[in-house]
Amino acid sequence: MSNWWGHLKTITAHKARVMKYCFRVGLYRQGLLHDLSKYGPKEFLVGAKYYQGNRSPNEAERLERGYSSAWLHHKGRNKHHLEYWTDYAPELNYRMGGMEMPARYVAEMFCDRVAASQTYLKDKYTDASPWAYYERSRDHYLLHPNTRALLEKLLAMLRDQGEEAALDYIRREVLGKRATPRSPSR
C-alpha cells in the first residue's frame, strides 16, 4: 500500500535539513535545488509505494525487484552522490572507478549524509552517526582517493569535533568562503 503523505513529509524534512546545512556553508543554489528529482513521478511514486519511514524506500524496492528504479534515476541526476561520479577509469585499466568530485559536491554529500542520518535516526542521532553509516559501506564505495580522503576527513571532524567545527571548516577551508556575518547582539 502506498504512503504518499508519509513519503512526502520525509523527503521534504530531509530536503529542509540539507538546505539548512548547505546555506550554512555557503552553497545556496545547491541547497535550493537539492534532491528535486525526488518530487518527480519516476522517484516519488516508487518512494511512496515502498515507504517505511525508518530507511530509504530504495532499499525495499531493491529487495523486492532486485534493483531500485528510483535510485538509478536519482543517482544519475544528482551530482552530490558518489555514484554519479563513476566511470571507466583509464588509470585502472578501464575498470569502473570513482572520478574526483568537485569540492562543492563533496560538501553537499556531507550535508546530505548528516541530514539523512538525522531524518531516519531521529532522537538516536549523534554526530558520530554519519561516520558509522559511511563506515558500514566504505569498502565497496567507488571513490577517487582525493574524494574519499576529503569525505572521511569531514565525517571524522563531525564525529570528533562536532557540527559547528565541521561546517565552519567546510565553509572556510574546503569552499574558501568568508565567515557568515553575525548580527550584533542587543
* pLDDT above 70 for 110: yes
Gap between the Cα atoms of 132 and 75, Å rounded: 22
Gap between the Cα atoms of 32 and 70, Å rounded: 21
Per DSSP (E only), the strands in the chain are 86-89, 95-98
pLDDT in tens, 137-151: 999 999 999 999 999
* Beta bridge pairs of residue 96: 88
pTM: 0.92
pLDDT score at 183: 46
Describe the chain by its helix, strand, coil percentages, rounded to 5: 70, 5, 25
Nine-digit cell string for 24? 550554512
User: Residue range 88-106: average pLDDT?
Assistant: 96
Q: Which amino acid is at 171?
A: R
pLDDT score at 134: 97
Report domain extents, the chain. 4-174
